[in-house]
Amino acid sequence: MHAVFTGLGALLFFLGAAMTPLDASARAVRLAALGDSLTAGFGLRASESFTAELARELAAKGHEVEVLNFGISGDTTAGGVSRVGGVIAARPDGVILELGANDALRGIDPSLAEANLELMLGELSRAKIPVLLTGMRAIMGMGKRYGEEFAAIYPRLAAKFGLKLYPFFLEGVAGIPELNQPDGLHPNYTGVREIVRRMLPDVEEFLKGIRK
């Protein structure tokens, strides 16, 4: 009888250990990408979006990462302010923030775009969620002064909040016809792959900080 209970006890111990949740270091990291059409994958299949491609490339590098797509085509920084609460509610381990392109296309005052980005970053900071901030430029001929003021938003906010900054989301893709869809604004799948290729080292560095 004693041997039976010993065996049963060992079995229950084994099952209990098997049912114990994995610790945070063993589970997949969850990144949320909060952005506009460049994040959403406008004009592309879901499997060709920035988030899908980033997840694949991270997996190929041996990283277990889930990338949540919080991109909405046409969204501005003001729209991002209204949506950041939903991103926080998803409880990601980190956020890639990509917003501002539509503000620049509409000629929105850079100070308003900056104020909106600051609101989002403040909420994410209070929630203790690390952020990789991606910069944007005014690429549609809004004038030199406007372009300089807009580009300056991102390094200023990165310094203020102590964030890692990827200077320009469309680096190496903007203005190159073969990497963009016919509208000249949205990357095609080849363009998305180039964006991810260039950004990947920064994302990997970002992940190191999350896992500390």
Chain segment 106-119, per-residue pLDDT in tens:
999 999 999 999 99
In the annotation, is 37 catalytic? yes
Residue in 36, 37, 49, 75 annotated catalytic: 37
Question: pLDDT band at residue 49, thresholds of 50, 70 and 90?
Answer: very high
| 164-204 pLDDT per residue, tens | 999 999 999 999 999 999 999 999 999 999 999 999 999 99
Is 36 labeled as catalytic in the residue annotation? no
User: Higher confidence at residue 11 or residue 103?
Assistant: 103
Alpha carbon distance 197, 119 (integer Å): 30
pLDDT of residue 84: 98
Tens digit of each residue's pLDDT (9 = 90 or more) over 57-86: 999 999 999 999 999 999 999 999 999 999
Rounded to the nearest 10 degrees, what angle do helices 110-126 and 144-161 cross at? Answer: 20
For the structural domain made of 27-211, what CATH number should be given? 3.40.50.1110
Task: Note if 183 is an active site residue.
Answer: yes
Instruction: Annotate 63-99 with b (16+ C-beta within 10 A) or e (fewer).
Output: bebebbbbbbeebbbbbbbeebeebbeeebbbbbbbb
Residue 5 has pLDDT above 80, yes or no: no
Residue 95 bridge partners (DSSP): 32, 131
Model pLDDT, residue 122: 98
Could you say which of 25, 73, 183, 202 is catalytic?
Answer: 183
pTM score, whole prediction: 0.86
Residue 209 has pLDDT above 50, yes or no: yes
Q: pLDDT per residue over 125-139, tens digit each?
A: 999 999 999 999 997
Q: How confident is the model at residue 15 (pLDDT cuts 50, 70, 90)?
A: very low
Q: Determine which one of 73, 111, 186, 202 is catalytic.
A: 186
